[in-house]
Structure 1
């Protein structure tokens, strides 16, 4: 019986400015026998003769061929797409496409997209140095088809535009240029495929992932899981699953990268046009009418927002529906994801031209600003969103919401975590608020709180009694202890648990002696320490330890607080932030002064671990200042009145003026003060 022929593999490479030098370095690191063809598309000027193939051939151990018309795809051969032409790929050959006026040429997007359609999971796409965002849409398609995406480290690339334009959810491996060749060879040759030992190490690893994330990957195809695991093993330069488990123990941040590699999180603006038309025409108008009778406040949660396209799509719809009314409404779209790199990308609000190309041109003109071939969401719309990290298995929800969108997230969760997540949404949503799920998701674990509204669009309405927030049901993601070789790392034991509350109480007692509010936050804006005064001044209830300060401090403008904390982490001198908060029982506004203190000058900003936030009640000071300003204003008005009065009436006016000056102003003036 003949063995089945292995599926063909392919590597495609795209680059632009500075690309010749990078390509020379890459091909020089490829070693024969190389187990796949490699196709290169670099932006070239068709008006000038190109000698790229000859240049690369002098530096490559592998044969280099410039595609003429049609070329068979042979393993171990480097193919160069000529200037001014695009190429189409089948499973066995390359074919040049007819010339057209589109630029740039050859298109990296076209190369990646056509290759992904044919090779799927057996494709590796590499983005090297270059300006612009060509390759962004193609790489997203590679990821969607299950392929692997590698980018040159933007920090060391000659031009960082192209590699940096890819969203972190699209990228599997970020590597310095000199490592990419060896990574390609290892991935293609299957160096990371181990013979399955009797005590299979994959299942304990998946148990560890389930314990920490609440996501059970055991039902996934094992071949797919192994293929995606190999990407992380290649990225971290380890050779066996055992070694990778120990790497996880030493680098807890790798857990999230591993989960991201197992999931395919590809999103886009207005994804699922039918749903967003339903939101625009039915759901959002109903919420806006409700808001008009409720302090003109709209509160929305985009849970699992990935790189922000869904959150900004909501903001765009609301901005379009409200028009000139937008400034009179208080709109907050809380946009959260577990992936810190995706959240950071979303905050920038900058996307490649191909990402927004399906939007109407007039909408792009109203809602985006063109920046170096990319598009940034306009500030007016960005200000409606607040991005932050949030773990549905661990963190508290946002209260009093009108709408929750959580699409294609629950399908990855265990039934236990699904129930807890729906419990969070049932707590968060007001009576009559809306929940939107993905096409393959349902409220069945907790359907008594959600009434179907439109089953085609998977929208539900919150009904039923108010419920409490459930306790966290998933183990907290604290770093596991280093285990001896041959054994899986285990979670920290409960030994010493009695000492922890005592230490916690000591800290609380110490901080409670301060009348000013004190909050210590880390670089994810999570609260490390907080005293009673800060809870009272900011309106925060419960312990709040480990939760996001920017989201919990409802009375403080989110954007201003976030900017102040970021400035402190950058080492900038503290600038007090004065804010007016909700009215007091007697109807007068109260005022807070918030000052964020960064690390000591000798600490490098990128190594700072925490910022101290000091909160003071300055209501009396502000009121006294206003009273003084009003008194001085009245005095100036009376001086004018006296100066303009007829001479016979000035003496009486002056006496009346003296009587009308506030007492504290008269006393200061008597003592020679201003």
Structure 2
């Protein structure tokens, strides 16, 4: 589970105890910048004035300009529109507009204004108001981002979504896409709509204001027993989709997330949501992502982080000998801000010793998407607001409008998906930071987590918890150092026993594991099968019948089947072969087998059933059924006939009777021959399967012996090696994926292309060229190629290319150059050129391939490869690789000190393996 949003600035607490005469109303917070006023006017023109909601509009305003925004918007809506005032209560069916040169918050239904922070502090009024709405307004909230540049509002929408509110962004109708697209890319938007549809959605949500308020973090909704059962069903869907059991997580948060999803789909009860999950399997995965709180921040809780830096980290570093690593585990790291904060503080504490003392920071989380973002280490301006300018300059690099953590810091952190409650823990940790995760777990899971942490820490290791957390009933494992800080030290008079799930992990969790199944009797739905069979019976048949599967198991009965079927003595069974009269069993098996083999109906007439008193004659038929679930089913029909009809074929001409008997005998021989062949084939398959099972059993026995001889290193040291290897594998996969994307783009998407005449003037260009170089046909066609734009193609390499093309008339491919797209942007491109003669005129084709990202990733891979090789070669443990012939293919520095005789013996024992020995 990830961490929740950090609380507001502790110094801003002057208005936290306001008392109101009535309960605050749900607030719709709307943010906009450039083009936002136009979108807001359109939204108001479609919005009724009596929704019962309160509206607050925050726009980027010049501090010294009287915008008259309230006067302009009042002409678009019958609602009262007024400029917000300090300590003004929020009332329903009103629109409040932020005044210039102010920052605004909402505290329990009251608007609180404060002066705008002086430059160079960034001014993000939308994020400020959205985050205060999520943290201090303890009722349902709706956040909307309209047209605007940059990324203001993204962090605020994330906070509102975490608190259980609804988030909306304007679609492509926005004049400026910066703000809406930033929120959409971050994955914090529930709906992307034009202003008219936003108004319609607000009208719908206003009719469910009571349900919307239940999404509040402080609301404790009373649920009956039926809702508890529905909640268990919903969590069962999530466990099936994501493999994580939320049954022992706090139900308040889970209900709040589920109610938020119900609002989006216009559902009234949990039972309705259960039905929706059954019809839409993908929803369970979306709900799983909603249950994970993917919000955190750099240097969260400044007082706590300062205490860790000045008190805890110096103690850890001071107790290290030369070459001994500082090991830190950040559990529930979310998108990585806390892990990077720990790395930065550790580097600051070490100072000049940072190069001589290894630092290992393991950061884990349940969310794969959060781990992927953490590995990238790229954050927006809003996400680095809590980083001081000095740290920002030293440990970050600015890339476009974002900040990326420097390689020095990224190399210290290893990010990996990890389930704290089921996966093997790390070991020998100096410090474990797990903040604001335990508040979502019940007592049983909390005790399990503390047991895991006690095992993972060194005897003098430290545990850091969130402000609202404590060790509770696990005080036998930890003791608190200071009352003012949630820092605990490990007790060594108690030994914690942890239970680890040793189930093997699949390398491809998204692919289902194939298992051997013998039959399936589950239908798509009972109503569908009833309709299918009834239509068939009504069209052609009226006799008694049964529906069976490929193993003759009866699924449904039709009509009166008592003359032909009866219950056998002993254990109850619905198998047709056991319920049918003994005189019919062979023929039933035969016609079902033929129907399965030929996919056509099969029939047998005139079968005699011996009963005391008088025999019964019956015709049987097997009809294959095609159904939407692709199940192999058969409809077996029983038709009782009179004795005369049964004996028709037995009377008449003797020769005819002989021919009939010979035909039956031939058919029987063919059936017997087919059965024998299939039996032989089945025997061979069974023998082959048995051999495979024996081989697999031997392999499992060998694996079991190895596991039995292994000790705690399998649970701790190997887990660390696996995590590091997984980190490298993930980065290799990212590089492979980048190559695949590049190939797909070259084959399916048009590249920027130019057509030049014989005088090197541009005849035409494709739309990709216009879009990439921010130009159009009017400014491009007829221009000399060297004079295009800001003369970005007037450089020696490009002139030499065109000269070579004209002189030798040979295609030129793969010229790599740096092209300046604009004053602030330069791209690395590969130019392809070819000269053609069309209608006795010479033309030149130029193609431009953008490889900027490819070169950046290639450098990153080389850096990671060198780092890993250096790490293995300098490891204190001996590491070597032997081939099948016993020859050592790789040996690190530590292996050079091993005596030759011992190396030969080790090579004989571990031939063909990757070996690590301490």
Distance 1:153 1:568, change over 3 A: farther
Match of 1:8 in 2: 25
| Deviation for aligned residue 1:561 | 3.2
Structure 1: state its 5+ residue gaps: 486-501, 514-530, 593-614, 624-674
Match of 2:258 in 1: 229
Distance 1:109 1:29, change over 3 A: same
| Deviation for aligned residue 1:47 | 8.5
Match of 1:407 in 2: 435
Q: Of 132, 139, 160, which residue of structure 1 is paired with 2:150? A: 132
Q: Of 298, 306, 318, which residue of structure 2 is paired with 1:289? A: 318
Q: Which has the larger radius of gyration?
A: 2
Report if aligned partners of 1:37, 1:73 keep a CA contact under 8 Å in 2. Answer: yes
Could you report, residue by residue, the CA deviation over 1:177-206 in whole angstroms, capped at 9, with x for unpaired residues?
566444433333217849999965432244
Distance 1:112 1:413, change over 3 A: closer
> How many angstroms apart in 1 are the aligned matches of 2:496 and 2:107?
56
SS at match of 1:134: coil
| Deviation for aligned residue 1:446 | 4.3
Match of 1:655 in 2: none
Structure 2: state its 5+ residue gaps: 1-20, 215-220, 240-244, 513-521, 527-687, 744-857, 892-918
Report if aligned partners of 1:153, 1:176 keep a CA contact under 8 Å in 2. Answer: yes
Distance 1:328 1:17, change over 3 A: farther
Distance 1:74 1:282, change over 3 A: closer
| Deviation for aligned residue 1:470 | 0.5
> How many angstroms apart in 2 are the aligned matches of 1:286 and 1:304?
24
> How many angstroms apart in 1 are the aligned matches of 2:502 and 2:227?
24
Report if aligned partners of 1:417, 1:473 keep a CA contact under 8 Å in 2. Answer: no
SS at match of 1:553: helix
Could you report, residue by residue, the CA deviation over 1:373-431 in whole angstroms, capped at 9, with x for unpaired residues?
55433232122222233222232222332221112222321222122222222332233
> How many angstroms apart in 2 are the aligned matches of 1:440 and 1:86?
29
Match of 1:561 in 2: 729
Match of 2:291 in 1: 259
> How many angstroms apart in 1 are the aligned matches of 2:224 and 2:112?
48
Q: Of 381, 389, 414, which residue of structure 2 is paired with 1:386? A: 414
Could you report, residue by residue, the CA deviation over 1:449-502 in whole angstroms, capped at 9, with x for unpaired residues?
43544454331225257655414599x9999x99989xxxxxxxxxxxxxxxx9
| Deviation for aligned residue 1:11 | 0.9
Residues 31-46 of structure 1: matches in 2 within 5 Å?
Answer: 31=48, 33-44=50-61
Match of 2:227 in 1: 202
> How many angstroms apart in 2 are the aligned matches of 1:416 and 1:128?
45
- Relative contact order (C-alpha < 8 Å, sep 6+): which is higher? 1
Match of 2:361 in 1: 333
Q: Of 433, 439, 447, which residue of structure 1 is paired with 2:461? A: 433
Distance 1:40 1:247, change over 3 A: same
Report if aligned partners of 2:160, 2:167 keep a CA contact under 8 Å in 1. Answer: no
Distance 1:296 1:158, change over 3 A: farther
> How many angstroms apart in 2 are the aligned matches of 1:351 and 1:337?
18
RMSD after superposition: 5.5
Match of 1:590 in 2: 880
Report if aligned partners of 1:87, 1:97 keep a CA contact under 8 Å in 2. Answer: yes
> How many angstroms apart in 1 are the aligned matches of 2:32 and 2:321?
51
Match of 1:634 in 2: none
SS at match of 1:244: helix
SS at match of 2:329: strand
Distance 1:273 1:555, change over 3 A: closer
> How many angstroms apart in 2 are the aligned matches of 1:563 and 1:405?
26
Could you report, residue by residue, the CA deviation over 1:210-256 in whole angstroms, capped at 9, with x for unpaired residues?
77534546774xxx876553322233554442232234451331342
Distance 1:543 1:156, change over 3 A: farther
Residues 658-673 of structure 1: matches in 2 within 5 Å?
Answer: none
SS at match of 1:424: helix
| Deviation for aligned residue 1:76 | 4.0
Report if aligned partners of 1:300, 1:404 keep a CA contact under 8 Å in 2. Answer: yes
Match of 1:528 in 2: none
Residues 470-485 of structure 1: matches in 2 within 5 Å?
Answer: 470-472=499-501
> How many angstroms apart in 2 are the aligned matches of 1:617 and 1:160?
62
Match of 1:278 in 2: 307
> How many angstroms apart in 1 are the aligned matches of 2:28 and 2:465?
36
SS at match of 1:369: strand
Instruction: Give the TM-score normalised by the residue count of structure 2.
Output: 0.48
> How many angstroms apart in 2 are the aligned matches of 1:482 and 1:421?
42
| Deviation for aligned residue 1:345 | 3.8
> How many angstroms apart in 1 are the aligned matches of 2:353 and 2:472?
38
| Deviation for aligned residue 1:318 | 0.8
Match of 1:461 in 2: 490
Report if aligned partners of 1:287, 1:402 keep a CA contact under 8 Å in 2. Answer: yes
Match of 2:330 in 1: 302
Distance 1:620 1:217, change over 3 A: closer
> How many angstroms apart in 1 are the aligned matches of 2:486 and 2:112?
42
Distance 1:246 1:117, change over 3 A: closer
| Deviation for aligned residue 1:13 | 0.8
Instruction: Give the TM-score normalised by the residue count of structure 1.
Output: 0.63
> How many angstroms apart in 2 are the aligned matches of 1:218 and 1:555?
33
Report if aligned partners of 1:132, 1:161 keep a CA contact under 8 Å in 2. Answer: yes
Report if aligned partners of 2:124, 2:152 keep a CA contact under 8 Å in 1. Answer: no
Q: Of 307, 325, 347, which residue of structure 1 is paired with 2:375? A: 347
Could you report, residue by residue, the CA deviation over 1:8-56 in whole angstroms, capped at 9, with x for unpaired residues?
2221111234535654664465455422132222335679896977987
Match of 1:499 in 2: none
Report if aligned partners of 1:12, 1:125 keep a CA contact under 8 Å in 2. Answer: yes
Residues 215-226 of structure 1: matches in 2 within 5 Å?
Answer: 216=248, 220=252
How many residues are aligned here?
Answer: 545
Report if aligned partners of 1:450, 1:460 keep a CA contact under 8 Å in 2. Answer: yes
Match of 1:189 in 2: 207
Residues 95-244 of structure 1: matches in 2 within 5 Å?
Answer: 107-112=125-130, 119-135=137-153, 146=163, 148=165, 150-152=167-169, 161-162=178-179, 171=188, 173-177=190-194, 180-190=198-208, 193=211, 201-208=226-233, 212=239, 213-214=245-246, 216=248, 220=252, 228-236=257-265, 238-244=267-273
Distance 1:140 1:193, change over 3 A: closer
Could you report, residue by residue, the CA deviation over 1:297-329 in whole angstroms, capped at 9, with x for unpaired residues?
222211112332221211111111122333334
Distance 1:242 1:22, change over 3 A: farther
| Deviation for aligned residue 1:443 | 3.5
Residues 497-646 of structure 1: matches in 2 within 5 Å?
Answer: 552-553=721-722, 556=725, 559-572=727-740, 580=869, 582=872, 590=880, 620=888
| Deviation for aligned residue 1:359 | 4.3
> How many angstroms apart in 2 are the aligned matches of 1:586 and 1:268?
35
SS at match of 1:121: coil
> How many angstroms apart in 2 are the aligned matches of 1:281 and 1:101?
30
| Deviation for aligned residue 1:104 | 7.9
Distance 1:73 1:432, change over 3 A: closer
Report if aligned partners of 1:37, 1:74 keep a CA contact under 8 Å in 2. Answer: yes
Report if aligned partners of 2:364, 2:417 keep a CA contact under 8 Å in 1. Answer: yes
